[in-house]
Amino acid sequence: AQSVAQPEDQVNVAEGNPLTVKCTYSVSGNPYLFWYVQYPNRGLQFLLKYITGDNLVKGSYGFEAEFNKSQTSFHLKKPSALVSDSALYFCAVSPFTGGGNKLTFGTGTQLKVEL
């Protein structure tokens, strides 16, 4: 069975500082990994995904994520946080074989960026 873990319920960071939101995964075979962001009372917005190739994936709104196979991690990063980045972030994994496009989500990390 596949799973993702987001070990931090909340991350606080000052505006202008770099941010990291952590995600670790457990899958059979190669992982397909996704990051989504959710603003209050809104749907999920796709940020980026890792399928294969470069370990550093660049996505929307200046976000990037680093795939680390040895540590089974896919942490989301941004060099300089904005107050408008404050939202709920979900990491998700899709099965390598079978199962279609059925995403398994982590429990989410609330990011709070303060002035």
Partner 1 sequence: DAMVIQNPRYQVTQFGKPVTLSCSQTLNHNVMYWYQQKSSQAPKLLFHYYDKDFNNEADTPDNFQSRRPNTSFCFLDIRSPGLGDAAMYLCATSREGQNTDTQYFGPGTRLTVL
Chain length of the chain: 115
How far, CA to CA in Å, does 110 sit from each of 47, 52, 101?
A: 15, 28, 25
The helix/strand count (H/E) of the chain reads as: 0, 12
- Our CB check for partner 1 shows the closer of 32 and 74 to be 32
At its nearest, how many Å lie between partner 1 and the CB of residue 38? 9
Residues that bind partner 1 (CB under 8 A): 32, 34, 36, 41-46, 49, 51, 88, 90, 94-97, 99-103, 105-108, 110
51, two tokens: 């399928």
Shortest reach from residue 110's CB to partner 1, in Å: 8
Pick 12 or 45: Cβ nearer partner 1: 45
Minimum distance of partner 1 from residue 15's CB (angstroms) = 23
Would you state the torsion angle of the CA atoms of residues 103, 109, 112, 113, taken in this order, to the nearest 10 degrees? -60
Asked if residues 6 and 23 have their Cβ atoms less than 8 Å apart, the reply is yes
Task: Output the smallest distance, CB 70 to partner 1, in A.
Answer: 22
- Looking at the Cβ atoms of 98 and 115, the one nearer to partner 1 is 98
